[in-house]
Chain A
Amino acid sequence: MTFRSLSLLLFSFLVLAGASPGAIDFKTQVLPILESHCFKCHGEKKQKGDLRLDTLSVDLLKDRAAAETWHDVKDALNLADMPPEKEEPLTRAELKILTGWINEKIESVIEAQKSTGGRVVLRRLNRLEYQNTMTDLLGIEMDYSKNFPPEALSEDGFRNNGSTLQMSDLQLEYYLEAARKGLAKAIVSGPKPETYNLEFEKTVKDKNRGSQILDKDQQFIVKLKDYPEEGEVLLRAKVRAKFAEGRGYPQLRGAIGYRADTQAPRLFFDPIDVTSEDWQIFEMRGRIENFPLPSKTQSKFPGLLIWLDNAYAEGRDKPLKARGRGKKQKKNEGPLTYPQIEVASLEFTGPVFDQWPPSHHTKILFLSKAKGLAYADSVLKHFMSKAFRRPVTADEVSPYSNFFQAARPKMASFEEAIRETLAMVLISPDFLYLVEPSGASKRPTTDWELASRLSYFLWSTMPDSQLFGLARDGKLSDPKVLRQQVDRMINDKRSWNLVEQFSDQWLDVGAIQRVAINPNYYPKFDEALKTSMRGETIHFFGEIFYKNLSALTILDSDFTMLDEPLAKHYGLTGPKGSTFERVSLKPTDHRGGVLTHGSILLGNSTGEDSHPVKRAVWIRERLLDDPPADPPPDVPNLDTTNPDFAKLSVRDQLAEHRKEVSCNDCHRGIDPWGIPLENFGADGLWRDQILRKKTKGKGMTKLPVLPAATLPDGSEVIGIATLKKYLIEEKDEQFAKALTSKLFTYALGRRLELVDKKALRDLTTKFIGDGYRIKNLIHLVVASESFQSK
């Protein structure tokens, strides 16, 4: 199990370190201890508690019952239940050998049980893959996966692990619901609908909030008494910016709807930077039925409300009340202090479509001379082969065709019956899972399977027509063609899915959402910064990936990627809007490399202070692929009788508990990795002093930052700069192996096992030889036997 429980928080200590790396020999090391301490009561003569150890099998792999018994023995030792008090206790060294040996054996049993035999596991599409696949398949943008139960991260931190992704009736219920909703939009019926086109130049006054000028609180509001209830709509806003000195671009944000009876709040479009003081027109598109439309039968039907507001970062997440709702706008005197937007007009058009029936309809219900059932069959065959990502046989079509025939007489129209039939396709396992038939031995993947593996690895969605075409011609597995395709796919904008998903999961950027900043320590911290922090890390990885820079740049760099709010937070200048830009760094900025990213520093903090142990574990797990062992049950707490303990800095507290021999075993290998980052507070900013709440009375005390540590190999590091230098000079190969292993895991959608060791070593060697280029590594992974066999 990885070290993710964070059980190893500051004051829980490992009495028993996990198994030491060298194998423990049973006969010479373990048996003598058992003989002198255990066999008296659990041997030939007596079997207290019905337990006999001298004849208990030591081949845990073969004898599962024995494995369970040894496990119980280990627990009894860990909990100090055994030996009993009246008997002579085990020495620390003896205890370590005994539990170490049992641990080793049990680990190997667990390993064997979890083993996939080095083969890719049947895996269903995860939430994002499903969302993308449905969008591509139906050609309709909507939130298909909104109601799905959240998915767990696998042990190694990924969301696409076949063993971790579970199926349930609830999940299936929502698949069916999403399929029906999507198909109801994709396949239209009836004549071409009337298109509404309305233009508004003045806002509705709403308790003084309606305004042509959008500052912090004002909104441009329009009401539609009559509007379409289905189909894509288009908002066109004619606006211009009014810049404020030292501030970034104002951000235009549209919103539609509000439903009073169910209190469903309006939904927003993504904000757009308004980058010019000249008049510009911005477009926002969305399907109107995705917004909370008011009920027309409601007693006080308000009409449909459409809003424009200014989502400029400052304070945008604060509740309206706190921002002073309904205040009259001050007369404009002197220079602006907040960037504004002036609205000239807002145009509403909808529904809009490219043709009638729309192309998403004709892609499924294509024109054909066939009629009736024959037509339905050809529609089915066409749709199924896209949905199943492979050719389908007439036999496979027949249950669906049978369903259609049974449903058609009961349904009002052909379209209705075909929608239901296609919904059935979309709950079939062939669609929901990457189904790859297999026998007893490994076989090469087919070109169709390869197409799906590639597209879900690099794009998190189904293959496009070019991949399908090459699979059909049997050319995709040709190494030259494959290389070209991988290059093409990386250059396609869909590869952003790989950048975002892989970097987010590998580096556990999601951690920032699990930590709440304490405003007493960081009164100026704005929650919205978390979004920017996530953006920094992902765009940083993206920059290194797309420019094919050395992956060691991840450890240290002379640039980072920032948007305006985060640049401001860091005290840097450059970016003016919500787009992430490359910003050059000087050594005095104390930035560069992922270890200085707010996302990592905040995510591995307490929200009040740094958390050196969490940060250390993060480095070992994410950058070095060497997570510390889990603590045993019932780890003791540090004796906190020392009244001055709370006054110590975290570094000194850690030093204090490393004095305990039992704690030192593990913590000397953990703490030193986190201490050099002590110059960064929970907010990710540089500090020379640590704020600490006084234990008695109010106010804060200040403690100095002491970032010096001795790493496990004896190297001395002082602060972030020397730590980064050490990582690049001494741990470059280990880092390369970690990154390779994580990317390989992500590509295969399964955990790596012993059988993968050789492949991993080969990939790592080539990756290093190639100058640590991630694009090259992707080519290597795709070309590997593991990726191309089932």
Chain B
Amino acid sequence: MSRKSWHLPRRTFLQGFGASLALPFLECMGADTKTLARPKRFCGIYFPYGVSLPKKKNEEAKWQWFPNTVGRDFQFNESLKCLESLRKHVSILGGLSHPNGRKIGGHDTADIFLTAAELKGGQLKNSVSLDQLLAAKLGDETRFRSLSLSVDGGVGEATRSSTLSFSRSGQPVPALHNPRLVYNRLFGKEDRTLAAKRQELENSDHMLDLVLEHSKSVRRKLGKQDQEKFDEYLQSVRQIEQRVERSEKWLEIPKPEVDIAGLHLDADDKTPGELIKTMFDLMFLAIQTDSTRFLTYQMGNMNGATSVATKFPSLLGFGKSQHSLAHGWNKPGGAEALGKWDRFRAEQLAYFLQRLQDTPENDGTLLDQTMVLYGSSNSTTHNNTNYPLVLAGGDRLGLNHGGYHRFGSDVPLSNLFVTMMNRLGAPAAKFVDSTGEMTELVS
């Protein structure tokens, strides 16, 4: 493995940091490749409104998203053909869904893609998402515990959330949507002295302690309803305290240097092609530099009425808005129109997977240590069953790829989550409504 500019000389690094480090972490510094465990990662990618599913006899049948036959000898149809060169590293999954999602409105399911929760009551309370659960258990070794991205950014509102990530208390984790902001967080440099930064972190730590203390007395004066709202604040203070502590640990290790050529850091919703590609590039860089191991990206949410992603297909020359394409799939010409949009999205995925596959890590590649789950929580427009799903990567983590599997409606998607957790080093007997593992996917 060649030494990248962000690989510090080991000596300097150790001097600066002291000996308190866990070993696995050192491996990104080019330590002995044989003796150290490689990072295990998960990346969840979501798109809204499902895909094109024309019937076999339809003249537009080649735009059927799923392959025509199951097993290892399946042929990709048009939309996923771009995955052909990665065939050995992907599985296509059909028939799966979250049983809790089947009970709710067709446009209400994005929130539970990675949580499997039953959104209950007026508050529509969610529960922890797969990435956040993994990050909580395994996220200690990187500068960032996790990274949540989306086209719209922030948290949105329940059933139309603009993030895939939910904390252990079921609170939405705000997603970043501006490429430059993501870049600055991951790789941006500050020209201040180490001592000044350290002092600032120490101050932050202290002021957060005091603010938390003081806030408890504020809470007591509030009415019951306001107290519940206020708890969001208290929780945020506690979380940011942890983040400050983490920053203190990482203070002396400079952020990695990356090449920004080809990144469109000022892309926004007016230039969706550049925006989506740059977000995938940033996720790749985050993985390559081991800045984080748990990532999510929501390529548009279900809020047709407020999401900026609604117009993306129109801007990119696919003729209609995202929602209209999805609604039109069973009208003449509609399967092809939506199919082309399906293909465009799959090409973005293929690009990302290929970059991971082309980048060596020790004696393997980045991809074979990264499980990527790509898909939607609708099969077509409003249908909450038969999610279109691609599972990629993680070959070295025990996943067995290369097939198209169809499952019955008795198999909850959570079974996949359990299977993944068990191979990512966070053993779990159950995830929400799971009933077991998916042995089909395990080598």
Shortest CB–CB separation between residue B305 and chain A, in angstroms? Answer: 4
> Contact partner of A150 among B152, B203, B302, B381, CB < 8 A?
B152
A276 at the interface (CB under 8 A from B): no
Shortest CB–CB separation between residue B20 and chain A, in angstroms? Answer: 23
Inter-chain contact A262/B260, CB cutoff 8 Å: yes
State which residues 161-182 of A face B: CB under 8 Å: 162-164, 166-173, 176, 180
> Contact partner of B331 among A68, A164, A645, CB < 8 A?
A645
Shortest CB–CB separation between residue A513 and chain B, in angstroms? Answer: 7
Shortest CB–CB separation between residue A747 and chain B, in angstroms? Answer: 18
Beyond contacts A163-B229, A428-B215, A440-B223: 7 other A-B pairs, Cβ-Cβ < 8 A, are A152-B162, A166-B172, A424-B211, A427-B207, A633-B105, A640-B331, A645-B331
Task: Give 12 pairs: A residue, B residue, CB < 8 Å, sorted on A.
Answer: A5-B302, A7-B106, A9-B323, A122-B222, A152-B157, A169-B239, A170-B174, A263-B263, A438-B223, A606-B324, A633-B106, A695-B333
Inter-chain contact A9/B324, CB cutoff 8 Å: yes
Tell me the bound Cα distance from A162 to B230 in angstroms.
11
Q: Residues of A contacting B211 with CB < 8 Å?
A: 424, 427-429
- Interface flags for B305-348 (1: CB within 8 Å of A; 0: not) read 11110110011000111011001101111000000000000000
Report the number of A-B residue pairs with Cβ-Cβ less than 8 Å: 235
Q: Residues of B contacting A607 with CB < 8 Å?
A: 311, 314, 321
Q: Residues of B contacting A176 with CB < 8 Å?
A: 204, 240
Nearest opposing residue in chain A for B123, CB measure: A113
Tell me the bound Cα distance from A729 to B159 in angstroms.
39
> Contact partner of A430 among B157, B218, B269, B319, CB < 8 A?
B218
Inter-chain contact B382/A433, CB cutoff 8 Å: no
Query: Which of A248-256, A399-407, A468-476, A535-543 is the interface stretch?
Result: A399-407
A336 at the interface (CB under 8 A from B): no
Q: Residues of B contacting A116 with CB < 8 Å?
A: 225
Nearest opposing residue in chain B for A438, CB measure: B223
Tell me the bound Cα distance from A21 to B256 in angstroms.
62
Tell me the bound Cα distance from A645 to B155 in angstroms.
40
Answer whether A423 and B207 are a contact pair too, CB < 8 Å, given A7-B106, A150-B177, A438-B222.
yes
Answer whether A72 and B210 are a contact pair too, CB < 8 Å, given A150-B154, A162-B229, A435-B218.
no
A110 at the interface (CB under 8 A from B): yes
Inter-chain contact A122/B229, CB cutoff 8 Å: yes
Inter-chain contact B306/A153, CB cutoff 8 Å: yes
State which residues 620-672 of A face B: CB under 8 Å: 630-635, 637, 640, 643, 645-646
A154 at the interface (CB under 8 A from B): yes
- Interface flags for B99-114 (1: CB within 8 Å of A; 0: not) read 0001111110000000
Count residues on chain B whose CB falls below 8 Å from chain A CBs. 89
A149 at the interface (CB under 8 A from B): yes
Answer whether A433 and B321 are a contact pair too, CB < 8 Å, given A406-B206, A411-B199, A518-B314.
no
* Residue in A402, A429, A433, A518 with the greatest tally of chain B CB atoms within 10 Å: A429
List the 4 closest pairs (A to B, CB-CB), nearest first. A113-B122, A516-B311, A169-B239, A122-B226
A4 at the interface (CB under 8 A from B): yes
Tell me the bound Cα distance from A326 to B314 in angstroms.
31
Shortest CB–CB separation between residue B47 and chain A, in angstroms? Answer: 17
B397 at the interface (CB under 8 A from A): no
Q: Residues of A contacting B155 with CB < 8 Å?
A: 149, 152, 166, 168
Inter-chain contact A403/B210, CB cutoff 8 Å: yes
> Contact partner of B304 among A6, A75, A153, A170, CB < 8 A?
A6
Inter-chain contact A173/B382, CB cutoff 8 Å: no
State which residues 688-746 of A face B: CB under 8 Å: 695
Answer whether A171 and B174 are a contact pair too, CB < 8 Å, given A6-B304, A113-B122.
yes
Inter-chain contact B236/A5, CB cutoff 8 Å: no
Nearest opposing residue in chain B for A520, CB measure: B319
Shortest CB–CB separation between residue B263 and chain A, in angstroms? Answer: 8
Tell me the bound Cα distance from A5 to B322 in angstroms.
13
Q: Residues of B contacting A264 with CB < 8 Å?
A: 180
> Contact partner of A9 among B159, B327, B332, CB < 8 A?
B327
Tell me the bound Cα distance from A592 to B157 in angstroms.
35
> Contact partner of B106 among A424, A516, A606, A635, CB < 8 A?
A635
Tell me the bound Cα distance from A131 to B265 in angstroms.
24
A523 at the interface (CB under 8 A from B): no
Inter-chain contact A437/B222, CB cutoff 8 Å: yes
Inter-chain contact A633/B384, CB cutoff 8 Å: yes
Q: Residues of A contacting B311 with CB < 8 Å?
A: 514-516, 607
Binding site for B on A (CB under 8 A): 1, 4-7, 9-12, 64, 68, 71-72, 75, 79, 109-114, 116-117, 119, 121-124, 147, 149-155, 162-164, 166-173, 176, 180, 262-265, 396, 399-400, 402-403, 406-407, 410-411, 420, 423-424, 427-430, 432-433, 435-440, 510-511, 513-516, 518, 527, 606-608, 630-635, 637, 640, 643, 645-646, 695
Inter-chain contact B218/A171, CB cutoff 8 Å: no
B354 at the interface (CB under 8 A from A): no
> Contact partner of B199 among A11, A68, A410, A435, CB < 8 A?
A410
Inter-chain contact B214/A399, CB cutoff 8 Å: yes
Inter-chain contact B221/A7, CB cutoff 8 Å: no
B175 at the interface (CB under 8 A from A): yes
State which residues 152-166 of B face A: CB under 8 Å: 152-157, 159-160, 162
B18 at the interface (CB under 8 A from A): no
B232 at the interface (CB under 8 A from A): yes
Q: Residues of A contacting B142 with CB < 8 Å?
A: none
Q: Residues of B contacting A152 with CB < 8 Å?
A: 154-157, 160, 162, 306
B77 at the interface (CB under 8 A from A): no
B173 at the interface (CB under 8 A from A): yes
Inter-chain contact A646/B332, CB cutoff 8 Å: yes
Q: Residues of A contacting B207 with CB < 8 Å?
A: 403, 420, 423-424, 427
Answer whether A634 and B214 are a contact pair too, CB < 8 Å, given A11-B327, A424-B207.
no
Shortest CB–CB separation between residue A454 and chain B, in angstroms? Answer: 20
Shortest CB–CB separation between residue A621 and chain B, in angstroms? Answer: 10
> Contact partner of A516 among B121, B232, B307, B315, CB < 8 A?
B315
Inter-chain contact A119/B225, CB cutoff 8 Å: yes
Q: Residues of B contacting A516 with CB < 8 Å?
A: 311, 314-315, 321
Q: Residues of B contacting A432 with CB < 8 Å?
A: 233
> Contact partner of B122 among A110, A117, A121, A695, CB < 8 A?
A110
> Contact partner of B181 among A147, A510, A518, CB < 8 A?
A147
Inter-chain contact B226/A121, CB cutoff 8 Å: yes
Tell me the bound Cα distance from A7 to B105 in angstroms.
10
Inter-chain contact A403/B239, CB cutoff 8 Å: no
Q: Residues of B contacting A153 with CB < 8 Å?
A: 157, 306
B8 at the interface (CB under 8 A from A): no
- Interface flags for B273-301 (1: CB within 8 Å of A; 0: not) read 00000000000000000000000000000
Inter-chain contact B327/A4, CB cutoff 8 Å: no
Q: Residues of A contacting B423 with CB < 8 Å?
A: none
Inter-chain contact A4/B323, CB cutoff 8 Å: no
Inter-chain contact A121/B213, CB cutoff 8 Å: no
B237 at the interface (CB under 8 A from A): yes
Inter-chain contact A429/B230, CB cutoff 8 Å: yes
